[in-house]
Structure 1
C-alpha cells in the first residue's frame, strides 16, 4: 500500500479544489489533490466566473488563460427572455454595452466577469496546478476513509484500476461537492432545503442565424412545451439547456427523444440539426453547513454551501473560500502564526456563504413570483398562450416583471461589497456602509476588499496587483513618514512577509483619488491582508503602536515584540 505524506490534501478536483491547488502551489506548500473521476468535467455545468474570482485568478497568474477560453465579451451583452430563439422576444436585461455601465464596470476592477464553462475552465486550472513542483494531482482516486487526530489527517483511497493507498496530511481541504463524503465523515450537519429537481442538456447546434444580432449570455425560454434557461457556451454552437420538472416525474422520463423534442421547442426551428452530448439530472439546493471546519478538515465550495445557480455564485463563493483559507494555512505551516488563526476561516467565510445561499434562493423565488419560473417547474397556464399575435398580452404581462430581476444577473455589490468580521480585523470606528446587491460603493473600511485603482494611465494595471497571498501589503500616503519602517520592523519581528509602498512615490497613482477612495489623508496608511481585504486603517498620521498591534492581531498573535 502506497504511503504519501503532504502538508495539505485536497479532496475534489473541480474548480474550487483546483483553485486551492493553484494557490498552495503559488505559496510553495506541498499538496496532493484527489478526484474520484478520471478526468476533469466533460459537462459544462457552471460557467460564471465573477469579477472577484477573476481578480483572484489574476493574482496567481491564471486569469489570462481563462480569458482565452471564455465566451467572447462581445457575446456577453445581456439576458434575453423569449418564447424560443426563433420566436417572440419578451424582454431584455442589458448587462454590457451601455457606455455608462461600461465605465462603472471598468472603474471597479482591472478584469471583467467572464463566462467560462466548467469543461474548459477545469483543464486550464489543472494545467497550471500541475506546473507547480509542490502540487500532485491524482485523478481516478476515490477517498474511502478519513481519520484525524491532533497531529494530522489520514486519508485512505483506491484507484479505478484497483490500487490503494494512504495519504497523511497536516490539513485537508474538502471540496468534494454537495454530497460530500468528507462532510459526512466528520459529522458536520447542513441546514436549508432542496428547491427543485432539474435536467441539464448539453448539446451542439449551429444557432448563429438566430443569435447573431442578440449576443446574450442567457436566453430564458417560455412556451407551452418548456420553460428554462439556454446558456451560450461559445456564442454559436455549444449550448446547455436547464429546466425544472415536477415531483410526479422521474429523471428517467426524460429520454433522448423527449429531450430532443424539448430542444426543438427551445430553438423554434425544426430544420436545425441538434447533437445531444450529455443529459445530466441535478437538484437545486440552498443549504449551508453548520460549520465549515472540523478539527483539521475545512469544507469549501459546494461541500460547505450548495447554492442555487440563480446568480452564479456557487463556484465563486468556493474560490473565495480557499483564498481566505490558503494564506492562513501558509502562515501556520511555516510556524509564524498559531493554529488558532485557522479558526477565523469559519468565522469569516460562513456569513458570506450564507448570504450568497439566501440571495440565490431569493433570486429563484423572485422569478417565480413574476411567472418567470426559469429552472423551477412551471405549471402556469400563461405559458400555454405566449406565442404569436394572440399571446401579445401575456408576453406583456411577463415583461413587466423582467426589470425587477436585475439582482439575479448584475450584482457588483454582492461581488465586491461583502466584508469580514473577526478578531483579525482592527476596526477604525467608521460606520458600516449601506450594502446593496446591485450597487458597489468602494470602501477601504477594515474588513472590506481593498478597492481597485488604475496605476498611471494604463487601464490594464491595478493597485490590486500589489497584493499577493504570499505577503501583507502596507499602502501609505506620500506624506506618511515612518509608516513603512514601522510596518517592516513589526513584520520582521513577527516573521511575517510584508511589502510597503507609498502612493505617489513607489507607486504611480493619482494621490487625491487614492486618498478619497481609501478614506485617508496624505499621511494616512492602510494594511492589506494577503487576500486583499483591509486589516487596519489610519486616516492620518497616528500611533505606530496601533499598526504593530494590528499586524499581530491580523495573524492571531499578541507578541510583546510586535507591540513594544
Structure 2
C-alpha cells in the first residue's frame, strides 16, 4: 500500500537528518529514506563551524554535540621523523558576546549523524534504511516516489539530500556546473595508528615529488583520520595494505603502525553547483545542490544550513498557513550563499585564502532577500540590518539565544523607547531587551532560523510583515 507523508526526504546524511529534526519539532510529517542499510560510517566531514553549532544548539543538540567532539588540535609539522614546529590550522577569533561559539568544533561526521539521528528518534521520527529510490514524479498536488523494494510514497513536497551523485537531481534533469579544484586524487580513511600523540594534527608536507599526509586524532575514539594526496594519474588503493603503504611512504611511520583500517574512501577535489535548487515541489539541499573541496570545512556546514533555511519555510506553509510562494525564497537565499562558500573553499584549497572569519559563517546573511524588510534610514555602515544573523547577548537575566530557541518567530524590542507599544502576534514570542550595541535600539522580528526578517525604529509595520507568514 502507498505511504503518505508531508515531506519525503531522500538521504539520511547530515542534511536530511537536520531537516527531518527541524520538521519533526514543527509537527510536520516527514519520511526520511536512505538507500544504504545504515548511517554513513566515516569521519569525512569532521568540522562544525560556529554558525552550524548555533543551528544545532537551536535544534536541541548543544550538549550532545559538545560531548561528541573537541577543539581542533594544533598542527604539528614533521620532516624526516623530526618535529619541525606547530602550525595553527585556523585564525583565532576574538571573544564576542554576540557569538558564543568562536571556533570550529571537531566531530567525526558519523558522530554528527548519530547525534542528529538520536534527536530525530527522540522527536518521534526515524529513517527507512535500505530504500533505494527508482523514480520520482510530480504533479500540481504532490510527488510520488517508487523504490527498488517496498511501497511507493506520496508526499506534498520532496527534498533531495542524496549527495553529490544525487539520483533525484538527475531524474529532474537539473544540471551541475563545476570544475576540478585539484586533479590529484586524495585518500581519506579512519585508522588506528601507533607512534603518534593525540594532542596534535600531524602534518607531513610533500617530499620527493610525493603528496602530503595529514593524520588527525578523532575525539571520543582511539581513531585517526588519515588524508593522503596522490599523483595525478595514480589509482588509489583503498585496501588496508594500500593505506599502510601510503602512510609509510609519506611519513616516518612503518606500515605495521597502521594497526587497523575502519573505513576508507577517495575523491578528487571538485567544486560544483546545481543550476537551480528547486523544480516544482522538489528541493535540492546539501551535496545534491553543491559540492565543495573539503579544504575550507564548508561543505557539511553549508548543507546543514540549507536544511535549517528550508525547514521553517516548509513548516510555515504546511502548518501555519503561510502562502506556498514563501518556498520560492529557499533558492533565492541559499543559492548565492552556496556559490560564495564554493568560491571560498576553492581559494582555501589553492592557498589563496586562510581559514578565518569567513569560514566561521557568522557573517552570512540575506540582506538582498525578498524576505528582508528594513524600514529604518540613516543607519551607520556597521549597523545590524534586516537579513543579518541575529546576535546573542545577555542582559538582566535574559539570554537572546535562549529566547530565540525553538520553532517560533521572536519579536525583539531593544531599548526602552522601541518597546513602548508592541503588537500581539499569535505564535510569536515577545522579548524586551535593554539597549545593546550589537543591535542598536529598535524592533526586530527574528525569523525561526535566527536571521532578522523585519527591522524598524518602532513596531509600526511589524504586524503587517508578520501576516505574510500566517502569524
TM-score by length of 1: 0.76
Give 5+ residue unaligned stretches, structure 1: 368-404, 435-440, 504-510
Distance 1:246 1:268, change over 3 A: closer
Matches of 1:111 and 1:414, distance apart in 2: 8
> Partner residue of 2:74?
78
Counterpart pick for 2:362 among 416, 424, 428: 416
TM-score by length of 2: 0.91
Of stretches 294-303 and 107-116 in structure 1, the one that deviates more from structure 2 is: 107-116
Task: Give CA-to-partner distance per residue, 1:124-178, whole Å, 9 cap, x none.
Answer: 2111112223x231011111110011100111113xxxx4210101011110000
> Partner residue of 2:189?
201
> Partner residue of 1:155?
145
Matches of 1:268 and 1:89, distance apart in 2: 13
Matches of 2:83 and 2:343, distance apart in 1: 33
The secondary structure found in structure 2 opposite 1:230 is strand
- Is 2:132 the partner of 1:142? yes
8 Å contact from structure 1 (residues 155, 168) kept in 2: yes
> Partner residue of 2:42?
43
C-alpha RMSD of the superposition: 2.7
> Partner residue of 1:444?
384
Distance 1:485 1:47, change over 3 A: same
Task: Give CA-to-partner distance per residue, 1:244-274, whole Å, 9 cap, x none.
Answer: 33342223x5654332122124452337453
Matches of 1:83 and 1:39, distance apart in 2: 40
Task: Give CA-to-partner distance per residue, 1:372-394, whole Å, 9 cap, x none.
Answer: xxxxxxxxxxxxxxxxxxxxxxx
8 Å contact from structure 1 (residues 474, 484) kept in 2: no
Of stretches 310-319 and 220-229 in structure 1, the one that deviates more from structure 2 is: 220-229
Shift of 1:340: 0.3
> Partner residue of 1:250?
235
Matches of 2:283 and 2:75, distance apart in 1: 36
**Mapping for residues 318-467 of structure 1, pairs under 5 Å:** 318-366=303-351, 407-408=354-355, 410-411=356-357, 414-420=360-366, 421-428=368-375, 444-455=384-395, 462-467=399-404
> Partner residue of 2:99?
108
Distance 1:40 1:106, change over 3 A: farther
The secondary structure found in structure 1 opposite 2:128 is strand
Matches of 1:476 and 1:108, distance apart in 2: 20
Of stretches 254-263 and 187-196 in structure 1, the one that deviates more from structure 2 is: 254-263
8 Å contact from structure 1 (residues 110, 462) kept in 2: no
- Is 2:18 the partner of 1:19? yes
The secondary structure found in structure 1 opposite 2:110 is helix
Distance 1:306 1:534, change over 3 A: same
Shift of 1:48: 0.6
> Partner residue of 1:518?
439
Shift of 1:79: 3.4
**Mapping for residues 218-257 of structure 1, pairs under 5 Å:** 219=203, 221-224=205-208, 225-234=210-219, 237-251=222-236, 253=237, 255-257=239-241
Count residues in correspondence: 466
Matches of 1:306 and 1:279, distance apart in 2: 19
Shift of 1:324: 0.7
**Mapping for residues 525-536 of structure 1, pairs under 5 Å:** 525-536=443-454
Distance 1:288 1:300, change over 3 A: same
Counterpart pick for 2:84 among 64, 86, 89: 89
Counterpart pick for 2:430 among 500, 510, 524: 500
Shift of 1:220: 5.3
Matches of 2:379 and 2:197, distance apart in 1: 44
Matches of 1:34 and 1:450, distance apart in 2: 34
Structure label with greater radius of gyration:
1
Whichever structure has more strand as a proportion of its residues is 2
Matches of 1:235 and 1:8, distance apart in 2: 34
Matches of 1:180 and 1:172, distance apart in 2: 13
Counterpart pick for 2:413 among 466, 473, 476: 476
8 Å contact from structure 1 (residues 81, 91) kept in 2: yes
Shift of 1:412: 5.1
- Is 2:108 the partner of 1:124? no
Task: Give CA-to-partner distance per residue, 1:78-132, whole Å, 9 cap, x none.
Answer: 3344337x43426512648xxxx57526652257531110122212211111222
- Is 2:228 the partner of 1:260? no
